[in-house]
Each structure stands twice: as structure tokens, then as C-alpha cells.
Structure 1
Amino acid sequence: MARIVTIAVFAVAASASMAFAQDKQTAVANFVGEDGKENGRAMLTAAANGGLLIELEVSGLPANRWVGFHVHEVGKCDAATHHESAGKHFNPTQAEHGILTAKGPHAGDMPNQYVGQDGVLRAQVFDGMVSLDDKKDGIRGRALMIHANSDDYRSQPAGDAGARLACGVVE
């Protein structure tokens, strides 16, 4: 399956643009930070020809840096375990990690995202390798994760992206 990843930064008012009617084609992930407090939200929308558009706004992150952004296999975001409860990257095809590897990427790989001077990550990301509810590549019930460092797109098994700063279960 071809994978096209599009990144665009956007500014939104969280309460206005993040509200929508949830159905089979949409999902929400409410992020919690390292302190266990809610710090953002992602809206996921199924694309007509496959894949998902993920729109997110997450605050309380280190300012002025690129951070890793992945899908993790377990839908559990326990701050007491530093979000280790979310397990490994979602990888239903057992591909290598990394957009720049010959045998990758896997479904949980997404491009790094930039956190602005205000400590808020605002982005739109398209992942063509996942869906919401398909038995093989569905991510409803799994976790979205923001890491402390940028993904190097090569290191196995997780891109050397560092600590898990914010986690949201796709509901």
C-alpha cells in the first residue's frame, strides 16, 4: 500500500475546532502528560480511499523542538509508568521501524512534529497505513504517543525518540 504523509501546521481554538460528532468514520484521543493531567486532543478522520487524517493540539511540551509522534499498540496511558503501559509501536506487518529504512516503515511510524515557542504542538498528519476499525490495521483502542526527542527514522525498534511525554487513547 502506498503511503503518503502530509504535514501542515495549523492554529485552532481547541474548544471550537475539536468538537465534532463521533461516528464510524471519526475518533478522538484525549492526551495526558507525564503528570497524568489532560493536555490536548486529537481528532481522527477516516479518508475515503483509506488511511487517517490526524489533527492534534497538545500543550505543555518542551518548546522549539521536533518530537517523535507514533501509534503504540496498547490503548493505555498510565502516567505512573511514564506511559510505558502503551507498549511498543503498532506494527501489524512486523516491518522495520523508520521512514528511511529499506524494510520500513511500519504502521505506527509517523513524521516528527514541531512544538512551537508556546510549548504547543499543532499539526495535521495523514497516515495511509492505518484505519480506525479494520481488524488488521485498525487503531481505535490503541494509543497515540508524543516523545521527547525527534525520531531518527532509522534506529530499531523505535527511532531513538526518547521519553514518552504525552499519550492519548484513540476512542
Structure 2
Amino acid sequence: MKRVLFGLAIGAAAVVVAGCGNMGDKSTASAEAPAGGAKAAAPLVAKSGTNTGGRVTFDQQAGGTLVTVSVTGLAPGSSHGFHIHEKGDCSAPDAMSAGGHFNPTGKPHGQMSSGDHHAGDMNNLTADANGNVRVQFVMKEVTVTPGGTSVIGRAVVVHKDPDDYRTQPTGNSGGRIACGVVAAL
């Protein structure tokens, strides 16, 4: 009986030691799992004479970047194009200072949930009966951490009209009614 217990104890110790083998090796851990926990936010400011405002947050997770959107001041039931733009500049009254859609991979404009599209293309926002939007979704083409696909220093723009997901390069989504610069939290 003692031999069996001793054998089990040695086997358990071997499992514990094997499980701890890479604890101090940070390069192995980071190579196996993408960095997570990086967060950013963009407060949306009204543009083009509207009352539209809100906040967009970005939370990098293992499966992509979780985007949480809260927008107010829209017409009830209305739909609006929604994009990440290349420049973090919302200084112009019409937000044209934010430049074009964020497109680091040179793809055509399209719908986020199907086929090729700009990294900054997101699906249309649809306001509820009170003119508000509350939605969450995951983007796989952008990150919060530094690099060529990072949203930090970019702008988030709500457009006047819905995106048709076809017209190049903008989706024919009209003027810019809210804009916010994305900054790390």
C-alpha cells in the first residue's frame, strides 16, 4: 500500500512541475495567446449641426476587439453608416478632417459581416424609437494594442445616411453627424 501511495505522490509532483515549466517564460505565453485587456474609447461629439453624441469603447480580447456603442440624438428608427476613419481629427465642423475609412490592408469597401471590407467598416447603426443606439459586436480586423491595425489615434464617425455597402470607397453614407477620436484608457 505504501508503494502505491508513494508512486502516486511522485506522479502528482511530476504533473505539477510539468505544468509550471513555462511560468517565467513570457515570450512563450504571449506567442500562444494574443494580448488582451487593452482598452480605448472615443467620445462622440455632434457635427454638421446635429445633436448626435455618445461614446464608443474598444476592448481587446482573445477573439477580437469588442466594440460597445452608445449613441443618442438620432431620428427614431433611422439607420446610419458607422466607420473607423484613418485620422484622429474631428476638428472640422463637418468632421471631414477625419479623412477616409481606415483601410490598412487596401481592401474594397463592404459590409463588416460579409466578404472583403475596410478594417474600419462597421455595420449600420439603427436607432430605437427614442433615437438611441446601444449595441456590441466583435471586430477581428482591428486591435487596441500598437501596430498597423490599431484603432488608437483614429476617429469613429456616425454618418447621416445608411451605408449601402457597395459604393466605393464610402458606401454612400452621406455627411458626418458625429465624430470622436479614439484614445487609450
What TM-score do the two structures reach when normalised by structure 1?
A: 0.78
2:126 is paired with a residue whose SS is: strand
1:119 is paired with a residue whose SS is: coil
In structure 2, which of residues 101, 108, 124 is the aligned counterpart of residue 112 of structure 1? Answer: 124
Deviations 1:2-21 (A, max 9, x none): xxxxxxxxxxxxxxxxxxxx
In structure 1, which of residues 42, 47, 57 is the aligned counterpart of residue 61 of structure 2? Answer: 47
- The aligned counterpart of 1:164 is 176
Deviates more, 1:121-130 or 1:37-46: 37-46
**Gapped regions of structure 2 (runs ≥ 5):** 1-35
RMSD of the alignment, in Å? 2.2
The structure 1 segments of at least 4 consecutive aligned residues displaced by more than 3 Å after TM superposition are 35-38
Between 1 and 2, higher relative CO (CA 8 Å, sep ≥ 6) is seen in 1
Give the structure with higher Rg (CA): 2
- The aligned counterpart of 1:20 is none
Q: Distance in 2 between matches of 1:79 and 1:125?
A: 29
- The aligned counterpart of 2:142 is 130
Change (3 A) 1:166 1:52: same
Equivalences, count:
146
Q: Distance in 2 between matches of 1:46 and 1:154?
A: 29
* Percent of paired sites with the same residue: 39
Q: Distance in 2 between matches of 1:161 and 1:65?
A: 12
Q: Distance in 1 between matches of 2:180 and 2:50?
A: 11
Q: Distance in 1 between matches of 2:88 and 2:103?
A: 14
Q: More helix per residue: 1 or 2? A: 2
Equivalent positions of 1:1-171 (< 5 A) are: 25-34=38-47, 35=49, 39-49=53-63, 51-80=64-93, 82-99=94-111, 104-171=116-183
